[in-house]
Amino acid sequence: MTDTTAVLKGVRENIRRELFESVLPFWDRHSVDPELGGFFACLDKDGERYDDRKFMWLNGRQVYMYAAMALSFSQQQLEDLSGGRLDRAKLIKDATAAADFMYSHGVRESDGQVYFSLTRHGQPYHMERKIFSAAFLCLGLGVLSAALRADGCSAKAGELEDRCVVLLKRIVSWSHDPSPLGKEACAGAPKTSPLNVPMILLNVLDELQRCGALSPSTGVGFDVAAEEAWCVEEILKHVRFEEKKVLEAVLADGSPCPGYDGRHMIPGHAIEAGWFLLRYAERTGEDSLVQTAEHMISWSFEEGWDPKHGGLFYFLDAEGRSPVYLEWDMKLWWPHNEAMIAYALLYERSRQDAHLQKFVQVGDWALRHFSDAAGGGEWYGYLSREGRVTHRFKGGPFKGCFHVPRCLLMVYQILGRCLEPTPQPP
| SS3 at position 114 | strand
pLDDT per residue as tens digits for the range 356-384: 999 999 999 999 999 998 887 999 999 99
Contact criterion met (CB below 8 Å) for 41 and 55? yes
- Burial of residue 79, with CB atoms counted within 10 A of its CB: 0-12 exposed, 13-18 middle, 19 or more buried: middle
In the predicted model, what is the mean pLDDT of the chain? 96
**Structural domains of the chain sorted by starting position, each given as residue range(s) with its CATH number in brackets:** 1-30+238-420 (1.50.10.10), 33-181 (1.50.10.10)
pLDDT per residue as tens digits for the range 262-271: 999 999 999 9
Quote the CA–CA distance of 143 and 208 in Å, as a whole number: 7
Positive or negative: CA dihedral 267, 200, 188, 251? positive
Per-residue confidence (pLDDT) for residue 320, from 0 to 100: 96
Quote the CA–CA distance of 375 and 377 in Å, as a whole number: 6
pLDDT per residue as tens digits for the range 88-142: 999 999 999 999 999 999 999 999 999 999 999 999 999 999 999 999 999 999 9
C-alpha closest to that of 422 among 126, 106, 4:
4
- The pLDDT confidence band at residue 232, using thresholds 50, 70 and 90, is very high
- The pLDDT confidence band at residue 2, using thresholds 50, 70 and 90, is low
Contact criterion met (CB below 8 Å) for 177 and 144? no
Per-residue confidence (pLDDT) for residue 92, from 0 to 100: 99
For residue 424, pLDDT over 80 is answered with no
The residues, ordered by sequence, that sit 6+ positions from 199 with a Cβ below 8 Å of its Cβ are 231, 235, 269, 272, 273, 276
pLDDT per residue as tens digits for the range 314-352: 999 999 999 999 999 999 999 999 999 999 999 999 999
pLDDT per residue as tens digits for the range 185-199: 889 989 999 999 999
pLDDT per residue as tens digits for the range 388-415: 999 999 999 999 999 999 999 999 999 9
Quote the CA–CA distance of 361 and 339 in Å, as a whole number: 10
pLDDT per residue as tens digits for the range 69-84: 999 999 999 999 999 9
Which residues on adjacent β-strands are paired with residue 54?
118
For residue 423, pLDDT over 60 is answered with no
Contact criterion met (CB below 8 Å) for 397 and 386? no
